[in-house]
């Protein structure tokens, strides 16, 4: 879709568009990112999840050639992220975590200026994006609300036809309608064969829009999986109270049940979706007073299957 792609990202459309090998970054003695091996295919949204300080922004800045890796390498659209960063920036729509705008320039002037820097006429798609995100392009950016500044930064990141979008917390500050529209825009991008690397600590957002997710903790990628696979295994918290005492043995043999606690007329446990039918049938043997069943957050499901493991090691 974008001219001039190199290597595996080229002609076939089936290769890898973004790849890191043993990528690491250390600030002084602090290790921000360790040994990252990541590959993105055309046509997928990859949700890059992690709590504050996990190393998400560091990764994205390494991919854009804004930081020099301490170890390993990254390739984006066939170009080395550090040595060929101008080429990478031409092929990527990038939304930084803290977008820098020119305070006195309006949205339209930003579009003109940044199109010019890319050697292009103002992109007509910018106007369509502004309309879809409900953004007024006549206002100087210093007079825009935080959410509207974010919308402008998104228009600037998405306006050029690129193979890859790298978006750092893109829905930050956006109202629900704009968030929804952005998710549609991401899906349209991948439907055209593009790829999206979406960094977020908002689990619900990643669940709605990603095809695969990776979980970063303390600079280490501790798990990667397809979202549909995770959904089938999604952990639920079950809490029941009864009119009588119930025996723990009635629930002990059910596959996947964890953290089972029975006593004082109540039961709590966590279990994958696939086990809920057996749990409800076992509960039904006793006179129930109350029952709640809530889906755990994605991160908890992730950690239940992959454990906390070595990411907590120094």
Ligand X SMILES: Nc1ncnc2c1ncn2[C@@H]1O[C@H](COP(=O)(O)OP(=O)(O)OP(=O)(O)O)[C@@H](O)[C@H]1O
Tokens matching residue 27: 């600030």
**Residue number with CB closer to ligand X (9 or 49):** 49
Give the residue, chosen from 55, 93, 170, 194, that forms a contact with ligand X under the rule CB under 6 A.
55
**Residue number with CB closer to ligand X (55 or 194):** 55
Question: Near ligand X by CB under 6 A, which window of 10-18, 36-44, 49-57, 148-156?
Answer: 49-57
Q: Which of residues 22-41 bind ligand X (CB under 6 A)?
A: 27, 30, 32
CB of 66 to ligand X, least distance (A): 11
Q: Which of residues 144-203 bind ligand X (CB under 6 A)?
A: 201
Closest CA to 223 of 313, 311, 295: 311
CA 224, 229, 230, 235 torsion: positive or negative?
A: negative
Tokens matching residue 70: 């301490």
Give the residue, chosen from 34, 56, 91, 220, that forms a contact with ligand X under the rule CB under 6 A.
56
**Residue number with CB closer to ligand X (32 or 303):** 32
Contact status: 54 vs ligand X (CB under 6 A): yes
Number of shown-chain residues binding ligand X (CB under 6 A): 13
The owner of tokens 């990667």 is 224
Q: What are phi and psi of 194, to 5 degrees?
A: -80, 175
Q: What is the DSSP string of 148-216?
A: HHHHHHHHHHHSS--SEEEEESTTTT--HHHHHHHHHHHHHHHHTT-EEEEEES-HHHHHHH-SEEEEE
CB of 73 to ligand X, least distance (A): 18
**Residue number with CB closer to ligand X (67 or 267):** 67
Tokens matching residue 264: 């004082």
Contact status: 53 vs ligand X (CB under 6 A): yes
Tokens matching residue 42: 């055309």
Q: Which of residues 83-112 bind ligand X (CB under 6 A)?
A: 97
CB of 122 to ligand X, least distance (A): 32
Tokens matching residue 49: 């999840």
Contact status: 50 vs ligand X (CB under 6 A): yes
Report the distance separating Cα 92 and Cα 21, nearest Å.
19
Tokens matching residue 309: 């493991």
Say if residues 287 and 242 touch (Cβ distance below 8 Å). Answer: yes
Which parts of this chain interact with ligand X (CB under 6 A)? 27, 30, 32, 50, 52-58, 97, 201
């Amino acid at each position: 879709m974008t001219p001039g792609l190199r290597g595996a990202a080229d002609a076939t459309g089936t290769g890898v568009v973004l790849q890191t090998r043993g990528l690491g970054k250390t600030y002084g003695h602090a290790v921000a990112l360790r040994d990252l091996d990541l590959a993105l295919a055309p046509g997928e949204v990859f949700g890059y999840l992690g709590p504050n300080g996990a190393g998400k922004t560091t990764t994205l800045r390494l991919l854009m050639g804004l930081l020099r890796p301490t170890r390993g390498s990254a390739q984006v659209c066939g170009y080395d992220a550090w040595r060929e960063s101008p080429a990478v920036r031409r092929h990527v729509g990038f939304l930084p975590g803290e977008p820098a705008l020119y305070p006195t320039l309006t949205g339209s002037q930003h579009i003109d200026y940044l199109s010019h820097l890319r050697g292009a006429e103002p992109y007509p798609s910018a106007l369509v994006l502004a309309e879809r995100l409900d953004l007024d392009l006549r206002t100087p950016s210093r007079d825009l609300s935080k959410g509207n500044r974010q919308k402008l930064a998104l228009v600037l990141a998405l306006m050029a036809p690129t193979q890859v979008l790298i978006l750092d917390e893109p829905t930050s500050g956006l109202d629900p309608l704009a968030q929804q529209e952005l998710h549609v825009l991401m899906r349209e991008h991948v439907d055209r064969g593009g790829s999206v690397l979406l960094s977020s600590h908002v689990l619900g957002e990643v669940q709605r829009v990603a095809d695969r997710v990776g979980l970063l903790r303390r600079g280490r990628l501790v798990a990667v999986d397809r979202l549909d696979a995770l959904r089938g295994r999604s952990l639920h918290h079950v809490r029941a109270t009864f009119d009588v005492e119930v025996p723990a043995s009635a629930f002990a043999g059910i596959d996947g049940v964890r953290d089972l606690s029975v006593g004082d007329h109540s039961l709590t446990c966590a279990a994958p979706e696939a086990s809920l039918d057996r749990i409800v049938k076992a509960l039904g043997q006793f006179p129930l007073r109350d029952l709640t069943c809530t889906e755990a957050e994605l991160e908890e499901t992730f950690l239940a299957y992959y454990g906390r493991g070595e990411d907590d090691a120094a």
